[in-house]
Each structure stands twice: as structure tokens, then as C-alpha cells.
């Protein structure tokens, strides 16, 4: 498959200004819930290399074929590392992990967001948070 075979979902792209606004709203909500005492150390982003993302997508596709699962997408979940992590730099920090999804037999195409998680294929985590964590979009 060549790069020209991939379709960019133009209707789902957002501007840098919109991304900055989303990030600011996220941080504002976090401040209102958790306060501001540790804001500079709080993780608000995760970074994955293109190779890691492509590798995970290929891993999911291969496992789905082997297990005869009709994977239809990838869902991203927010999480928080437990305080007893071996890597103390991640302890208590936010994270973002992803897992494949499959269509439920009862779903129509308009209900894709209601796809079921595929727990038979491992999820992917451990993106790079940065040190200190990058927490403002575009900076």
C-alpha cells in the first residue's frame, strides 16, 4: 500500500488554534477538579513515534487475522499510573493507552463509536511523557 492509498479524514482534522483551545479547556477542568499545586509536573500529553503507532496497528491487524476478529478501530483511554510504579517518574501521572475495537453485530455504521473493546489483543501504553511532562499544546 502506498501513501497515496491512505485517505486523510479531512472532516476530522482540527486547526492548531482548535487544538490549543481543547488543551486549555482540559487544563482548566483539571485545575477545577484537582487544584493547581502540581501543575508543572502533571502529564497532559503522551508521545508515540510513528514507527510505534504503525507497528501497533500492524500488530493489531495481524493478531485480528489470526484470531478471526473483525477489528474496526482503536479506542484511546485515559489512565493514571499507580503510586507503586517501579518507574517513580510515572507514578501518579496521567497516561493514554489504546486498544483495538470490534463492531458489535447489532451496530450500524453510524454507531461505530459504540464498538466493543477487543481484550484478546494486548493494549498499547508507555508513550513518552517527557521530563518534565509536556503539558501545553504547541510549546
Q: Could you tell me the pTM of the whole model?
A: 0.73
User: How many Cβ atoms are within 10 Å of 25's Cβ, its own excluded?
Assistant: 10
- Give 18's Cβ-side CA count (13 Å radius): 4
Contact 61, 73 (CB under 8 A): no
Across the chain, which distance is largest between two alpha carbons, in Å?
Answer: 49
132 or 63: whose pLDDT is higher?
Answer: 63
Predicted pLDDT of residue 107:
52
- Annotated domain spans of the chain: 44-117
Tens-digit pLDDT profile for residues 51-96: 999 999 999 999 999 999 999 999 988 888 888 988 887 788 788 8
Amino acid at each position: 500500500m502506498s501513501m497515496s492509498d491512505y485517505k486523510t479524514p479531512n472532516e476530522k482534522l482540527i486547526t492548531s488554534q482548535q487544538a490549543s483551545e481543547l488543551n486549555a479547556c482540559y487544563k482548566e477542568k483539571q485545575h477545577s477538579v484537582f487544584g493547581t499545586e502540581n501543575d508543572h509536573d502533571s502529564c497532559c500529553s503522551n508521545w508515540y513515534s510513528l514507527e510505534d503507532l504503525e507497528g501497533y496497528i500492524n500488530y493489531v491487524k495481524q493478531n485480528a487475522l489470526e484470531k478471526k476478529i473483525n477489528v474496526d478501530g482503536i479506542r484511546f483511554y485515559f489512565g493514571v499510573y499507580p503510586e507503586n510504579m517501579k518507574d517513580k517518574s510515572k507514578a501518579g501521572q496521567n497516561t493514554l493507552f489504546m486498544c483495538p475495537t470490534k463492531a458489535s453485530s447489532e451496530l450500524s455504521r453510524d454507531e461505530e463509536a459504540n464498538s466493543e473493546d477487543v481484550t484478546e489483543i494486548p493494549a498499547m501504553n508507555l508513550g513518552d511523557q517527557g521530563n518534565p511532562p509536556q503539558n501545553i499544546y504547541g510549546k
